[in-house]
Structure 1
Amino acid sequence: MPLNRRRLTLALAALAAIQLPAQAQDWPGGKPIRIVVPYTPGGSSDIIARAIATPLGEALKTNVIVENKPGANGNTGTDLVAKSPADGLTLLLCDVGALAITGSVYKKLPFDPGRDLRGVTMLAYSPHLLVVHPSVPANSLQELVALSKTTKLNFAVTAIGSAPHLAGIAVEKATQARWEYIPYKGGAQAIGDTVAGQTQVLMNGMLATLPHVQSGKLKVLGVSKASRVPLLAQVPTIAEQGVKGFESGTWQGVLVPAGTPAPVLAKLSAELTRIIRSPEVRERLVSQGAEVHTMSPTEFAGFFERERRNWAAVVQKGGVSLD
């Protein structure tokens, strides 16, 4: 390479190195940020999005708007973000486990989660609660299984192929229970119909479901965690009730379009981590049954790949497939 060209190349590289931190320093430059939740209002992801929106806006000196974009089992909102400009102004806050499942359940998708999206940080985890309408004459998983063999039970699921749906299939197969799955467009609708008695059984994230248990509108029969949770210390885990090793839950995290500049990604990750760990936000979530979990973008990528492999095996065993 000629000397002048080499000097020019080095100069451009040095200039880029100087400009990258400045890019993060100037971002978002007063431009509004939107957090897209690909589900209906009232679910776990929506609750967390609204908990972080105001403090994130204050930290970045801009407006942060939460937009619910439900449809196609969460794929409508996810596709919107995947195809948005990679400028850090459009965020996806969703159930990361459900996103990892999507590629195994759908034969065709308008986006590739691993290729088109990049994880910023995980935010929270909450185990699934197995709940029933109070009129259901069962007070344990064993009693529910026995009842399912003599009585028609409708099992509400947030979406076909969602983590709660696959968790329900796993319990069904392990216990030989019998119930019919009724799909919804999000956790809030599934909870609403179970509270109303239109469906009798529900598996859903603790964050959105616990308030209805505490109010007596739903009856909890089991927790899908390896150990009991302090807020429901009297409720046995599903594993304790005969489904050995059973554990599932809802992981909420934030993603951005692939190609988002590394300095912007790093700044977003740092601010979101600080906010979710702050006493006021952490205590609010913990009081509702969620555990704060944060990850760097690199850790997030590794977690997502493990979740994708694990759920692919469950999907194959359960025979779940959608066009």
Structure 2
Amino acid sequence: MQRRELLQALALLLPATGPLTAWAQNDYPKPGSTLRYVVPFAPGGLTDVMARVVGERLGQRWGVNVVIDNKPGGGAQIGADAVAKAPGDGTTLLAITLTHAANVTLYKGKASFDFQRDLRPVALLAGSPMLIVVPAASPIKDVKDLVAQAKARVLNVGSSGNGTPPHLTQALFAGTQEVQVQHIPYKGGAPSMTDLIGGQLDVIFSNFPESIAHVKAGKLRALAVTGPARHPQVPDVPTTAEAGLPQLQVENWTAIMVPGTTPDAIVARLGAEAVAIMNLPEVAARVRELGFRVDARGPAEFAPFLKSEIERWAGIIASAKIQAD
């Protein structure tokens, strides 16, 4: 009797869970179908390049068409909004970065979607440290000099815009060192680099790819990287921890999310595939060339990481009174 009752109970559950699981496992993705990979930044940037690397491999491995859809603007909110409101059928992906974790606080009460409710974490892909750079002719030779100068006077510190990773990193620096800086936001990393090289700025806590070429060309001096280890492209440059600023650890990471209504089985399959792609030797090599380090994590590991980043930057943003443009 107990066995029969158990079988009857299981039979009642099958209509609710069986079809969805079978559909997700057997019919997703449909060969020849199209996946839209939304990048909320302009073409050619690091997030865009990373999405194209992953999207190309995903298309090859699954036999689907992956279309990169660039939707820049609104502090990276326009693209995120589009994905948050898309059907949760696994055909729409969103590329996100540290910017989106900060945007949860910066756009609180202003966004037309709820980031943590309307989007689901799929996979963390890679992280890139910030590079602290000064003009080649600067009297600031190392991090110790930087701190001393910041305590002696107000430094002119550039960034690629309000609320961007370079701005957040300089705010963390100012807060931990209890100094005041003059923040000068630019519309992008390139113009800020031009003024730094020209001596109009004292320092930038730069996205690694935006400044590394200038460092290698001798136009800028790198003081430290904010990652957990030295960077292979500048092995002689110490980490901030080695230079005496252990609190100043920041990585501008990139990851994938999908609409919040996406079923668990699809999220799991997408996440596992993204991790597998990132661990391919040729992909890992390409990622290192771009200045990233592979940090592939599926949804179970990425979700708590994203939550911790949102919470971390919420406190820094509030303390520094940072506002979005």
What letter is aligned with 1:251?
Answer: W
Q: State the distance in 1 between where 2:188 and 2:9 align.
A: 54
Number of residue equivalences: 317
- Corresponding position: 1:55 with 2:57: yes
Q: Which residue of 1 aligns with 2:274?
A: 272
Between the two proteins, what is the percent identity of the paired residues?
Answer: 35
Tell me whether 1:220 sits opposite 2:214 in the alignment. no
| AA matched with 1:54 | E
How far residue 230 of structure 1 moved from its aligned partner, in angstroms, is: 3.6
Partner of 2:99: helix, strand, or coil?
helix
Corresponding residue for 1:72? 74
In structure 1, the partner of 2:285 is 283
2:216 and 2:314 map into 1 onto residues whose CA distance is 34
Q: Residue in 2 aligned with 1:26?
A: 27
Deviation larger for 249-258 or 200-209: 200-209
Indicate conservation of the 8 Å contact 1:145/1:178, yes or no.
Answer: no
Residue 129 of structure 1 and its aligned partner are, at CA, apart by: 0.9
Closer, same or farther: CA 304–15 of 1 in aligned 2, 3 Å: closer
| Match in the other structure for 1:210 | 212
- After TM superposition, the structure 1 = structure 2 runs for residues 35-46 of structure 1, keeping only pairs within 5 Å, are 35-46=37-48
- For 1:170 and 1:212, the matched residues in 2 are separated by 24
* Greater Cα offset, 26-35 or 123-132: 26-35
Aligned to 1:261: 263
Could you tell me how far 1:198 is from its partner in structure 2? Answer: 6.8
Residue 307 of structure 1 aligns with an amino acid whose one-letter code is E
The SS at the match of 2:96 is strand
Root mean square deviation of aligned Cα: 3.1
TM (norm. structure 2) is 0.83
SS of alignment partner, residue 296 of structure 2: coil
1:105 aligns to 2:109 (yes or no): no
1:295 paired residue among 293, 297, 312: 297
Deviation at residue 160 of structure 1 after TM alignment: 1.9
Gaps of 5+ in 2: 1-6
Give CA deviations for 1:85-110 in whole Å, capped at 9, x if unaligned.
Answer: 11222211121x32222222224221
Q: Are residues 1:308 and 2:282 paired? A: no
Matched with 1:318 is 320
Higher alpha-carbon deviation: 178-187 or 255-264? 178-187
Code of the residue aligned with 2:69 in structure 1: it is E
Q: Mapping of 1:216-255 within 5 angstroms? A: 216-255=218-257
* Counterpart contact for 1:43–1:208, Cα < 8 Å: no
TM-score, L = length of structure 1: 0.84
Q: Distance in 2 between matches of 1:269 and 1:121?
A: 5
Q: Identify if the C-alpha distance between structure 1 residues 237 and 64 changes in structure 2 by more than 3 Å, giving closer, same or farther.
A: same
Give the CA deviation at 1:258.
0.5
Match of 2:96 in 1: 94
| Alpha carbons of structure 1 residues 143 and 15: separation in structure 2 relative to 1, 3 Å | closer
- Using a 3 Å threshold, how does the CA distance of structure 1 residues 149 and 23 change in structure 2: closer, same or farther? closer
Give 3-state SS (helix, strand or coil) of 2:274's partner: helix
Distance 1:192 1:64 in 2: 36
1:3 matched residue in structure 2: none
Q: Which amino acid letter does the alignment assign opposite residue 306 of structure 2?
A: F
Q: What is the distance in 2 between the residues matched to 1:20 and 1:189?
A: 50
Distance across 1 between alignment mates of 2:64 and 2:189: 30
Corresponding residue number in structure 2 for 1:120: 122
Distance of aligned partners of 1:20 and 1:174 in 2 relative to their CA distance in 1, 3 Å threshold: closer
| Deviation of 1:115 (Å) | 0.4
Aligned mates of 2:28, 2:187 — CA distance in 1: 34
Q: Is the 8 A contact 1:71 1:185 kept in 2?
A: no
Q: Does the CA-based 8 Å contact 1:44-1:205 persist in structure 2?
A: no
